[in-house]
Structure 1
Amino acid sequence: MTRPTSSTLTIRPWMETDSISEMTALLHRAYSGLARMGLRFMATHQGDEVTAKRIAEGQCFVGLLDGRICGTILFKNASQTKGCAWYDQPEVSSIAQFGVEPDLQAKGLGRQLIAFAEQAAIASGAGELSLDTAEPATHLVDWYTRLGYRFIGHEQWSHTNYRSVMLSKALSRGL
């Protein structure tokens, strides 16, 4: 498949008419490589109820190509971001449940979803956009670092079988 361009990619908010089951299946596919590494991300195994609950915890955005949802990212503003010392700070927003169809990974869609979430964070007044990922997933830590995210620390979440790397990016609010 060719690299998506801004003219072929549409990013929009999750709509009530979108299918939770299809979103869950997308997340399972998107995280399948991480599951094969033995990493138990929530999105590797969550059911529809968990997908719906997580979507309700923030603003879910979807990426569409040819009308088909092929990527997603969940943005949580600073008041919705919580769970550890870094996330509990009043200027820190976060992203989660971020995934792209496996055949579209490394083609620019993920980068466009991240940029969209960064703009949402700036619009919300956040000073930081943060995330966490599995420490053994060094390819992800390296990718986020190339996008300007810096190491903050580690967390051990009760629902994972790995230690998480906390990463954050200071946001430029422009002039």
Structure 2
Amino acid sequence: MSAPQEGGFEPATGDGPAVPDASGSRAGEVLTAFEGMLQIRRLTRAEASDPESVPAPWELHRPLRAVALALEAARVPSSAVDASGQRTATGYRVSEGEAPGSVRVEWAGPPGSGAAHDEEEALAGCAGVLRRLGWTALLYRGPRRRRFLEVEPRSSSPAPAASLGDGTGIVRPMREA
């Protein structure tokens, strides 16, 4: 058994040490954190038809943590680095995205691991997990033709009601004058 973490539970981002075996105490910590996230969604998004599929306000303020938790709870393997910063495991790596409030998800691994070959299928799996949980995940091709996901919360409505001018909140097609 490992000692409890001093700062509380932290989901794997793919930039830390290898995550312990998923069948041990870590699995219980992940499950508890994920169930807590779903409960917060049910309480704060009760007006939604499916509150568990809408990110909670805290997730919008800490999207990297929320995305990492969602992936780890789905048992997607995370990448890892050793003390010298060298990749030691193949899996997801989450980092801040280019746009505010967005997260970048990459499929990373040690040299020769085949991570680049596996990334399209692996990232498609990550995107599926995240979409079910209310995130928009768009696949891009970056430097050296490596793929990555840009993840952000799904828009709750197509357009803000204030821009419609009628106060109903119903989006209607605009007619040209």
Structure 1 length normalisation: TM-score?
A: 0.30
Larger RCO: Structure 1 or Structure 2 (Cα < 8 Å, ≥ 6 residues apart)? 1
The higher radius of gyration belongs to 2
